[in-house]
Structure 1
Amino acid sequence: MKLKASSLAAAVSAVLCADAWAVDPQYIKLSESLTFTPELKVGERYDDNFRAVEENEESSWITEITPTFVLGAEGRKSAYALTYSANTDIFHSSHKDDNTDHHLTADGALKFDARNLLKLKAGYHQVEDTAADDQNLTDGQRVENDKYTVANVGGVYTYGAQSARAQIDLSADYEELRYQNSDQVNAENERDTTALRTTFYYRVAPKTRALVEARHTNFDYVSNDRLNSDNIALLGGLTWDATARTSGTVKIGGEKKRFDDSSVDDASGSMWEVGVEWKPRTYSTFNLTTRRGIDEGDDGASSIETQSTTLSWGHKWLERLRSDVSYSYADNEYQDIDRDDKIKTVNLGLTYEMRRWLDVGVGYTYAEDDSSAIGESYERNIYSISVTASL
C-alpha cells in the first residue's frame, strides 16, 4: 500500500507501509481516502518434528494458506489500517491437527500538529499451537494442542517535534491471554497484563539521540494468584538514524520482578535491548538484535530469565533474486525449577520476484533445544516452498 510523500506518512509508516509486504501490491481505491489491499500466500512445507518433542516425533507435509486483507484510510493528519489474516495449516499425516489461526489488528495515527502525535493499536488473535513449552503429554502421547486467544489495546503519545532537541513518549498497553483447552489445561497461565512506559529523548547530534526509559508492567493472573507480580525496569541508551551506514537503538539497564506472594522469590538482573542495522551496500543488509530480560514463567517456573541474540543477512543478488539468512540463540533459565533451555535456530531463504505482484520462495529451518529438563530437548527440520500473490 502506497502513502503520499508527507511528514505524516513518515510518522505512521508502520501503520500503512508497503515494506511490510513481501510483494509490492496495488490497492483497490474504494473512495478518495479509503483503500483495500488483498494478498494471498500459499505454501507447502515438510516438518520432521512438528510437535517439537524429544521422543515420539511426528512428521508431516503441511499445506499453508494465508489470505490477508488490509482496509486503509488516510486523511490530511491521520492514517488508519484494519488488517485481517487467516492462517490455515493442513497436516496431511495428522488431520486432527488441522487448524486456522485468526488475526485481526487495527492501527491508527493522528498528528495534531508538529509537536503532538498519537498512535493507537488494538488486536485480537486466535491461535492453535502444535509445538509449545508445555507439551500437554500423558504417557508420552499428546492430549491436546495449546489453544488460546490474545486481545490487546494500547497507544503511544509523543510530545515534541522530530527536529526538536527534546522529545517524550508516553505509552500504555493492556493485554488479555485466555486458553480454550478442555479440562482447564493451561488455565494457570491465563492473565491480564498492563504495561506503562515513559521514554525521554535528548538530541546529542544531528542524527543521534540519548534516551532514558522507565517501565512498569503488572501481571494479574486469573486463577494462579501465586504468580501475580510487577516488573519494574529502568534503561538508558542511544538511538541513531543512517549514521555511517548504520541505524539502531541500544538500551541498557536493570529489571526487577516483585511477586505479591511473599513465598515466591523476587527476580532481578541486568537488562538490555539492542537493534542495529548495517548496510555496507544498498543491496546488502545485516541486522543484529539482542535482548536480556525477565519473562513470565511456564511449566511450573515462577519466571524465566532469558537472553537471546539474532544475526541476519539479507542480500539482493540480482534485480529479482534475494536471499535471507539468520541465526538465533536463546538461553532460557527457568526460576524455581531445574531447567535451562539453550535454543538454536538457523533460517535460510531464497526469494525470486517473478512479477511485481508475485513472489516465489524456498526455505529451510533448523531448530534445536538443548534442555537440562528430562524430555524437553528436541531437534526439528523444516523445508518449505511458498507463493505470495497480490493485485
Structure 2
Amino acid sequence: MVGLKNKLFSGAGTVALTLTASGAAGVGAVGTADAQWLWDRDRNVSVTQRPRPEYDALGIRSGAFIWRPQLELGVEFNDNIFATATNEESDTIFVINPSVTVDTTWSRHAFNAFADVRHNEYADFGSESTTDYSLGAGGRLDIYRGSSVGASASHSRGTEPRTSAGAAGFAAEPIRFDTTTFAIGAEHTFNRLRLRGGYDFAKSDYDDALLIGGGVASQDFRDQDMHRFTLRGDLAISPDTAVFARYRHNQRDFRLSPPAVATNRDSDGYTFDVGVEFDLGGLARGEIGVGYMKQEYDSPVFGSVDGVSVDGLLEWFPTQLTTFTFTARRGIEDSGIAASAGYIGTSVSAQADHELLRNVILTARVDYANDEYQGIDREDERWGATVQATYLMNRNVGLTASYSHLDQSSSGTAGPRDFSTNRFMLGVVLQY
C-alpha cells in the first residue's frame, strides 16, 4: 500500500521486511524459471504491506513517472517535553508535514526521488519549535539477467530528540544537525548463489548546544565522516530458505583531533555474521544473523570494544488479518558523550498489527533497549510502548490516533537522569 500506508502506519514504529526477487533470473545449469523460483521471497504479505486498491492513492501520472504528494496534519500532547526527572513541563505540539515522492513505471531499471518537510510548532514553549527537511534520490540499473547496480544520495536537516544522551537534555534549545549520505551497491545471482556488495558514506555535522542558564556545549567533537563497506553471499538451499555470510567494515573519521579535543575518537571496526533468510508460505518470513563485532579506536584511552552481534527480524502470520513482527539488534554505536567514544546497544521489539476491518488497522508495540557505555560508568535502559488505530476513509484521507509511553533509567556514576514521557497524538493524512 503506497502513501497512506507509509504515513499512517509509521506512527507506531512499524517495521517492514522486504525480500524481493529482483535480479534473481538464473544463468547456466539451472533455468531462469527455476532460479526465480529458488529466490521467491514474497509469498507472505503483512497487514501493513497488503494492497488495498479501494484505498490506495492513484498518484499523478506524467509520462513514465508517478508523483505522490501528501500532507500530514497532526496535534500531539507531550507531558514531559524536556525529558526531565522532576519539574516536568507539558505542551501541545502542532505538526505540519508536506512531502512528495516520484517513481518510475519502467519495466527495467528504476528511479525514485523524495522531498519532505516537517514543522513542529509548540504552543507554549516556542523555542522548542523546529523545521526539519530531507530530500534524496536513488535508482537501479538492470545490467543483464541476474545483475543490477544501484545508487542513492540524500541530505537532511534534523533535530536531536530531548530523550537522547549527551547535551540534549540540558540544552536551552534543541540541538540541530545535518546529514549527507551516498550509497552504491551491486548484486548478481548465479543460480543458487547470490552475491551482493556495497559502499555507503554518511557525513554528520552538529550545531553547538546553548545550555540552560548560559554557556555553550560544543558538539563539534561529534562531527564525522563514516565509510561502510559490505560484502554478502547467499546460498539458496530450498525455495523457502537461504543461508548467508556477511562481512561489514566501517571507518569512522572525526573532524576534530587533539589538541582541539582531549582524545582521538577515530576508529575502525567490522562485523562478521552468518545467518538464514526464509519465507515460509502462510506462516513466517524473516532474516536472522549472529556473529562477532569489534571496534578499534585510535586512542589508547578508548582501546577496543568487541562482542556478539545480532541482527534479526521475524514476521509471523497466524492469520491473514494479523501480523506479529519481532526485531533484535546488538551493535557498537558512536556516543554523543565526549568522555565515551561508543557504546554497545542492544534493542528488541515486538509488534502486532491487526486488520479489524478492511480500512481499520490496530497496532500495538513494545520496545526495550539497553546502552552500555564504554570508558565511563553509565548504562541506560529504556522501555517503550505504543498503541495506534488507523482509519482509512478513502483513497485521499486517512486518520490516526495513538498513545506512546517511554521510560528510561540510567545507572552508574555518569548516569544523567531517569525520566518518563507520555505522548497522545491525532493525525490526518491527505494524499492524491
Q: Same fold (TM over 0.5)?
A: yes
Would you say the 8 A contact 2:99–2:114 is kept in 1? yes
- Where in structure 2 are the equivalents of 1:313-352 lying within 5 Å? 313-352=352-391
Would you say the 8 A contact 2:232–2:247 is kept in 1? yes
Partner residue, 1:385 = 426
Would you say the 8 A contact 1:284–1:316 is kept in 2? yes
Shift of 1:247: 0.5
Shift of 1:349: 0.2
Would you say the 8 A contact 2:160–2:168 is kept in 1? no
The structure 2 residue matched to 1:125, chosen from 151, 156, 160, is 156
Partner residue, 1:67 = 98
The structure 1 residue matched to 2:234, chosen from 201, 213, 233, is 201
The structure 2 residue matched to 1:108, chosen from 139, 143, 157, is 139
Shift of 1:49: 1.2
Q: Residues 74 and 43 of structure 1: is their aligned pair in 2 closer, same or farther, counting only changes over 3 Å?
A: same
State yes or no: 1:232 paired with 2:270: yes
Q: Residues 270 and 157 of structure 1: is their aligned pair in 2 closer, same or farther, counting only changes over 3 Å?
A: same
Q: Distance in 2 between matches of 1:167 and 1:263?
A: 41
Partner residue, 2:125 = 94
The structure 2 residue matched to 1:45, chosen from 61, 71, 76, is 76
Q: Distance in 2 between matches of 1:297 and 1:38?
A: 37
Would you say the 8 A contact 2:380–2:415 is kept in 1? no
- Where in structure 2 are the equivalents of 1:1-391 lying within 5 Å? 11=22, 19=49, 24-31=56-63, 33-131=64-162, 132-136=164-168, 142-160=171-189, 164-181=191-208, 185-224=218-257, 226-243=264-281, 245-299=283-337, 300-372=339-411, 373-391=414-432
Would you say the 8 A contact 1:330–1:342 is kept in 2? yes
Which AA in structure 1 matches 2:371? N
Shift of 1:376: 2.2
1:237-293, CA deviations, whole angstroms, 9 ceiling, x for partnerless residues?
Answer: 100123451000010000011111233221000001010001111110000000111
Q: Distance in 2 between matches of 1:273 and 1:146?
A: 30
Q: Distance in 2 between matches of 1:136 and 1:120?
A: 33
Shift of 1:20: 10
Which AA in structure 2 matches 1:346? A
Q: Distance in 2 between matches of 1:21 and 1:232?
A: 39
Q: Normalization by structure 1: what TM-score?
A: 0.91
Q: Distance in 2 between matches of 1:105 and 1:207?
A: 34
Q: Residues 20 and 371 of structure 1: is their aligned pair in 2 closer, same or farther, counting only changes over 3 Å?
A: farther
Would you say the 8 A contact 1:50–1:130 is kept in 2? no
Would you say the 8 A contact 2:127–2:173 is kept in 1? no
Which AA in structure 1 matches 2:387? L
Shift of 1:374: 4.4
Cα RMSD of the aligned pairs, angstroms, is: 2.2
Greater fraction strand: 1
1:319-367, CA deviations, whole angstroms, 9 ceiling, x for partnerless residues?
Answer: 2211011000001101111110000010100011111221111000000
Would you say the 8 A contact 1:54–1:375 is kept in 2? no
Instruction: Give the aligned length.
Output: 375
Shift of 1:68: 1.0
Partner residue, 2:213 = none
Would you say the 8 A contact 1:173–1:196 is kept in 2? yes
Shift of 1:154: 0.3
Identity within the alignment, %:
20
Q: What are structure 2's unaligned runs of at least 5 residues?
A: 3-19, 24-47, 210-215, 258-262
SS at match of 1:135: helix
Shift of 1:184: 6.5
Which AA in structure 2 matches 1:52? A
Shift of 1:74: 3.6
Q: Residues 295 and 240 of structure 1: is their aligned pair in 2 closer, same or farther, counting only changes over 3 Å?
A: same
Shift of 1:65: 0.8
Pick 1 or 2: higher relative contact order, CA cutoff 8 A, min separation 6: 2
Partner residue, 1:6 = none
Q: Normalization by structure 2: what TM-score?
A: 0.82
Which AA in structure 2 matches 1:210? V
Shift of 1:297: 1.9
SS at match of 2:375: coil
Q: Residues 195 and 350 of structure 1: is their aligned pair in 2 closer, same or farther, counting only changes over 3 Å?
A: same
Q: Distance in 2 between matches of 1:10 and 1:234?
A: 24
Deviating more after overlay: 369-378 vs 337-346: 369-378
SS at match of 1:205: coil
Q: Distance in 2 between matches of 1:303 and 1:129?
A: 17
Q: Residues 322 and 352 of structure 1: is their aligned pair in 2 closer, same or farther, counting only changes over 3 Å?
A: same
Would you say the 8 A contact 2:167–2:217 is kept in 1? no
Q: Distance in 2 between matches of 1:206 and 1:121?
A: 30
Would you say the 8 A contact 2:128–2:173 is kept in 1? no
Which AA in structure 1 matches 2:102? L
Shift of 1:76: 3.3
Q: Distance in 2 between matches of 1:20 and 1:233?
A: 34
